[in-house]
A and B are shown apart, each in its own frame.
Chain A
């Protein structure tokens, strides 16, 4: 088989897409955002619970999409749980570099190893958006997705 294709659809990605981690709606999320890819009609919703320190205490997603977008969302959720907002932002920067086939100097070795699995997408420029949809949606959830609460405003 084509090496680029083998790299893209490697077992760990297919496994995440078939058995996504942290999948499903989250009741009582503090933050939520919906992402949409108009190119393919794929949708993803990211739910977060950010604690008082700005840490991702819990994360979940749901949506329909291709193997790449589902795997990327699943891997992102697994990776971000327990991280601070600032950490998450750095991971996202690093991820965006990797999927464009660039070096990502800001990442720890462990994180790089995890995220590099998605690096094969850089050979498929038309598909990069599939991989980044969940991450952009996560960022939107953090920045603009605060949910109204009973005690809170709005």
Chain B
């Protein structure tokens, strides 16, 4: 396995960039400028190598064989769990449940934690800037159990007011489900304060960290959070794997969601007993090679100076923000103080899909659409936005390409 690479200060984006083979390709004969990491990040060579090496030399199913390879694969899988534990600073490794992604992790909390006890009229507090994956599972509870969704608005700049969130938490609130970082606005929520307020009223908090875990350093113990969700593919790891951190006491009380192999202790004709968490929630053969990849990705990330990474991403964002301000036809959506490296905007007389198509032909990959956040689109009275999301491998040259592409799009569509 390739050792984690320590990059010396100051942060060397070019050196990091060189670790991502795909970034050296061209599209339509143009240099690829990848500004869609918020949808999915590219993978460094250490992740690709780790997955290939593991599959070539140590792969077998986990937790069942007594043979050499099964033991080796189980070691690797469980080592990846400890890497996630370290990444989130969880107290115990058995507080980490592997899932197929962030969506499954949130659904697991909805089905296993909330559904068994929720009563008609019970409330779930969530913000209007949630991704659909942190909305739809709660809609299921509304449809099936009579739960009430209590929405907290954001300010015009996209920031979340802790007071209004606090005000939404009442005696019937059973959960606060909130993003750590908005995938559209880039807003970073004040999790620590939100959790303190919710806990003061005895309400647990779930944070959707699919974006937040990429850009912020997460310490679940310092946050005192109940549930924290992440996904591998946005963290420079593979698709098909994510994780749920849940406090041990919650996991022990949660009933299983998927049933099958791996999650049982004993299966008889007339009774069944379940394995302890986290295995109880990992029915079936898990994403083993992906776990090796996720472990490698997080080890690599933790080997970097993450404060320097964050500073680099913030520099890109403020540079981009400043550059696009020259376009009086462009309106940025989301200017919350301390926001993460996501720039969403709409343009007068130019639809996001036309913009994205023209940018694409310049080699610039951006996302256009509602970003699985239709409640937020409605809040800002738009049907879609164009979104550039920055990662550690982006550079100011990428911002320049975006800005040149935008000027070009204006010329194509408005002459």
Contacts and interface: CB of A to CB of B under 8 A. Distances in A.
A130 B352 CA distance: 12
A8 B354 CA distance: 10
Contacts of B374: 41
A93 interface: no
Tier of interface size on chain A:
20 to 34
Contacts of A2: 28, 361
Interface in B366-383: 368-370, 374, 377, 383
Contacts of A67: 350-351, 354, 413
Interface in B343-368: 349-354, 357-358, 361, 368
Nearest to B415: A14
B377 to A, nearest CB: 7
A101 B350 CA distance: 26
A124 B377 contact: no
Contacts of A19: none
Given A41-B384, A66-B351, A127-B353, A5 B358 contact: yes
Contact of A42 (B28, B349, B383, B412): B383
Contacts of B384: 40-42
Nearest to B353: A66
A14 B349 CA distance: 11
Interface string A119-151: 000001011001000000000000000000000
A4 B361 contact: yes
Nearest to A6: B412
A8 B358 CA distance: 10
B28 A40 contact: no
B383 A68 contact: no
Contacts of B353: 40, 42, 66, 68, 127, 130
A127 B357 contact: yes
B352 A9 contact: no
Contacts of B354: 9, 66-68
Contacts of B369: 39-41
B357 A8 contact: yes
Given A65-B351, A66-B354, A68-B354, A9 B368 contact: no
A41 B373 CA distance: 11
Contacts of A66: 351-354
Nearest to B412: A9
Most-contacted residue by chain A among B358, B370, B383, B415 (CB, 10 A) = B383
Nearest to B385: A41
A1 interface: yes
Contact of B357 (A1, A43, A64, A124): A124
Contacts of A126: 357
A152 to B, nearest CB: 34
A67 B354 CA distance: 7
A56 to B, nearest CB: 27
Contacts of A39: 369
Given A66-B351, A67-B351, A40 B361 contact: no
B412 A40 contact: no
B79 to A, nearest CB: 39
Contact of A41 (B350, B357, B377, B415): B377
Contacts of A40: 352-353, 368-370, 383-384
Nearest to A67: B354
Interface in B21-41: 28
A24 to B, nearest CB: 19
Nearest to A4: B361
Interface string A32-69: 00000001111100000000000000000000111110
A5 B383 contact: no
Contacts of A43: 383
A5 B377 contact: no
A43 B384 CA distance: 12
A123 to B, nearest CB: 10
B308 to A, nearest CB: 36
B102 to A, nearest CB: 20
Contacts of B361: 2, 4-5
Nearest to B369: A40
Contacts of A42: 353, 383-384
Contacts of B413: 9, 14, 67
Name, among B28, B354, B361, B384, the residue most crowded by chain A CB atoms within 10 Å (CB to CB). Answer: B354
Contacts of A4: 361
Contacts of B28: 2
19 contacts: A1-B412, A5-B412, A9-B354, A9-B358, A9-B412, A9-B413, A14-B415, A18-B349, A40-B368, A40-B370, A41-B384, A42-B353, A66-B352, A66-B353, A67-B413, A68-B354, A124-B357, A127-B357, A130-B353
Top-3 shortest CB links A-B: A66-B351, A41-B383, A66-B353
Given A2-B28, A9-B354, A130-B353, 9 more contacts: A1-B412, A5-B357, A5-B361, A9-B358, A40-B352, A40-B383, A41-B370, A42-B384, A66-B352
Interface of A: 1-2, 4-5, 8-9, 14, 18, 39-43, 64-68, 124, 126-127, 130
